[in-house]
Amino acid sequence: MVESLVKIVLSAPVDQGRRDHDGQRYFIAFHMEDGTEVRRAFWLGSGELHRGIMTDPLFRDSVSQALNEMATPTPPPNKTSTPLCTERELTPPCGSGVEIGKPYPYTLLTHCGIRGAYFAGRKWVASPVLTAEKVHPPPGWSNPFQQGEMRLLAEDLARFVTGTGLTAEFRPLPEGDKYPWGPCA
């Protein structure tokens, strides 16, 4: 069945014109053979999958059936949720108060490569920036997000480590500066 669904997605027409998305938005995770994971938005009502891929009714029905059969997950005991930091949080790991040397569960935005992070109440820039084809994360990294741990090693150095051992180091962006890149595709 999975192979049939993949063929449906690969053969689906693409319409990148602006539209009002119809129905509840869900995220579908595609687990690749190389170990990476890609998460894409899917609107059940319109059948649109990420950036205008218009799926047919068989795909929509399969997703709907899977959602109906899915039990509400219960998080395992002592499982800490991993935050996606914006600049609004006031507590660690996003806000100030992060302790040097302590690992914090962290969700790193990787869609445009490993470029920057918001951690410990400030913006950070990857040193070096890690990308593939200038706008994607390198092989082995998930897209658009990567789960892992962020640790402040010194006031001017933070390190992100994935569960598989991939690492990225970050240096603080000077106060008031903007990230040195524009939007990616």
pLDDT in tens, 15-33: 666 566 666 777 777 777 7
For residues 27-48, give the mean pLDDT.
75
Rounded to the nearest integer, the mean pLDDT of the chain is 81
Beta strand ranges found along 32-121 (DSSP E): 37-43, 48-49, 53-54, 103-109, 114-119
pLDDT at 129: 94
93-50-32 Cα angle (round to 5): 70
pLDDT of residue 145 exceeding 60, the answer is yes
64 in the Ramachandran plot: left (φ > 0), alpha (ψ -120 to 50) or beta? alpha
Q: Is residue 152's pLDDT more than 90?
A: yes
Domain ranges of the chain: 2-69, 103-172
What tens digit of pLDDT does each residue of 54-103 get?
887 887 777 777 777 665 444 444 444 566 787 778 888 988 999 999 99
pLDDT of residue 73: 44
Q: Which residues contact 33 (CB under 8 A, 6 or more apart)?
A: none
Residues recorded for the chain: 185
29 forms beta bridges with: 39
Q: What is the pLDDT of residue 127?
A: 97
Q: What is the pLDDT of residue 23?
A: 66
- pLDDT for 53 equals 79
Residue 185 has pLDDT above 90, yes or no: no
For range 1-22, the mean pLDDT: 65
Amino acid at 49: L
For residue 70, what pLDDT is reported?
60
Residue from 124, 121, 123 nearest 98 by CA: 121
Handedness of CA 58, 62, 63, 67 (dihedral sign): positive
